[in-house]
Amino acid sequence: MMDGSIGARREPANFIGGEWLAEAETMPVVNPATGEEIARLPKSSPVTVDAAVRAASDASAGWAATPVFARAALCVAIGAAIDAHREEIARVLSAEQGKVLAEAMGEVGKAADGFRLAAELVKQMGGETLPAEDPTKLVMTIRQPRGVYGVITPWNFPVKIPVEYLAPGIATGNSIVWVPAPSTSLVAVALMEAIAEAGLPAGVINLVMGEGAVAGDAVVTHPGVVAIGFTGSAATGKRIAERGAGKPMLLELGGNGPVVVFEDADLDAAAAAAAGGAFFNAGQVCAATGRVLAHRSVVDPLCERLVEHAARHVLGDPFHQGTTMGPLNNAKVAAKVREHVEDAVANGAKLLHGGKPRPDLGSALFFEPTVVRDVTPDMEINREETFGPVVPVLAYDTQEEALKLALDSEYGLSVGVFTADIAKGAEMAKAIPAGIVNVNAGSTWWEIHLPFGGGSGTKSGIGRLGGRYTMEAMTELKMISITLQQRKRHERRDPGAGAPEYSDGRPRQGAADTGAGGRTHPRRQHLALGLGSGCAWAGGPPRNGGMV
């Protein structure tokens, strides 16, 4: 086990209803850099999930009724608690996930920022008043929490991504049942400890660890869970959409983002962005540089720069100060990376750098930063999400061909375009059906308050994460109409009488202002009815579209 108060529980447990509860069956947590078991965590059953959902349901009404400023204050306190334990959480993250300590420290810092951002944004959320054809109606919208939200999160950013759901979720008044990825559940315990330390009311967030096919599926299908948030693979996202059919969903899925480099691009900037997007977190990023589409005239100088970036990386122990890249997280992803590179080389691609696993570093999960050129559209490395430290380079001759290659993918998450011609960049941005297109920046550029998600008709997901966009998705938009009180306007006329009366026999106010034909002056009438300028004429058709 790691040292320190956070994540150092002798027997890590689920957190349900404000209590740490052990589970009879456990599963191992393995350090990917060494292959050593570092902890055993609960392997929860559907019965445990049911207990967590009941705890969240019990907390739901009270938490939703808590004043928004009190919920925001809690989020600020949670951010401070995460900051206070930043290094401890980061060390657990590095040991369990495999990313270098500097990257882990940055991720934990972003998680704290996420709670602070939620605290600010929730105080700015509001509805609006809307016009109505009926002048007796006051119409408005409000946003309300959905209720018990199920959240299932991945192993590649196991601190930051959960916070993208947890922070806006509780800030807007939802209660949550959270299932983290099995291979990075120890850091979920560390994060949950910090959140609980800040004064979280019992049942507002419930942590349940276990296998996705069991614990995750139980959350998705539970009738007490009204909505689902999931970040992970496209295949798993599809199964969740099917199993949870009918529930509102936020699905942030895979990507295979191209970085398009035109002949007039700044090649130094393009190479730095493409390499950074491919090698950060050992390429285990949904928005990573999936493929580089380079104009044929710049392929050679661009590849030289990409190889220079790859050669600078130092593989090794994530805790060593000089290490810039740790291992891949698990055997399944390592096998896929190796398969994609071998398939490309076997079918004619040229390996310029790397391309091999490095078991001599302590684990078969270390894989060299890799650059491959002369990749063709039909190769696996181009068509599928590799999720490893690999830069495949494809050549094109015209802008039309570049666009065709960019569109030749089932994914549509993020894209980078490099060109000195801003008009050309804007054309590409509009034409590519991705959720994010960065002109003169790589596919990974994003900030936590911005919308993040896949394009329609692609395998990259549904909805948008980030800032107010997550809050809108995690709340229900409700329309409210209020009928304004007024006197009845059904009038009884006596041809021989002067002032008309209401149907109950009372004299109408403003009768002295009745003009020819017995019609009240409009200003006197709307003042008498107390409806302001939104009142329609009584006894006749509306004027000027129904408004006075």
Catalytic residues: 252, 286
DSSP string across 258-325:
EEEE-TTS-HHHHHHHHHHHHHGGGG--TTS--EEEEEGGGHHHHHHHHHHHHHH--BS-TTSTT--B
Are 428 and 403 a contacting pair, CB within 8 Å?
Answer: yes
Cα–Cα distance for residue pair 242/253, rounded to 1 Å = 15
Q: Where are the beta strands (DSSP E) in 3-70?
A: 14-16, 19-21, 26-30, 37-42
Cα–Cα distance for residue pair 432/444, rounded to 1 Å = 16
Q: Which residues lie closer than 8 Å to 331 by C-beta, 6 or more apart?
A: 364, 365
The residue behind tokens 């206070």 is 84
Closest CA to 254 of 382, 376, 381, 384: 384
Neighbours of 195 (CB within 10 A): 28
Cα–Cα distance for residue pair 365/526, rounded to 1 Å = 77
User: What is the token pair recorded at 29?
Assistant: 């947590």
Cα–Cα distance for residue pair 498/426, rounded to 1 Å = 71
The backbone region for 467, taken as left when phi is positive above 0, alpha when psi lies in -120 to 50, beta otherwise, is left
DSSP 511: G
Spatial strand order of the sheet with 137-145 comes to: 129-130, 137-145, 475-483
Q: Which residues lie closer than 8 Å to 56 by C-beta, 6 or more apart?
A: 148, 175, 176, 177, 203, 204, 206, 224
Mutual angle of helices 86-97 and 68-84, in 10-degree steps: 70
Residues of the chain by 3-state class (helix, strand, coil), percent to 5: 40, 20, 40
Closest CA to 48 of 188, 179, 244: 179
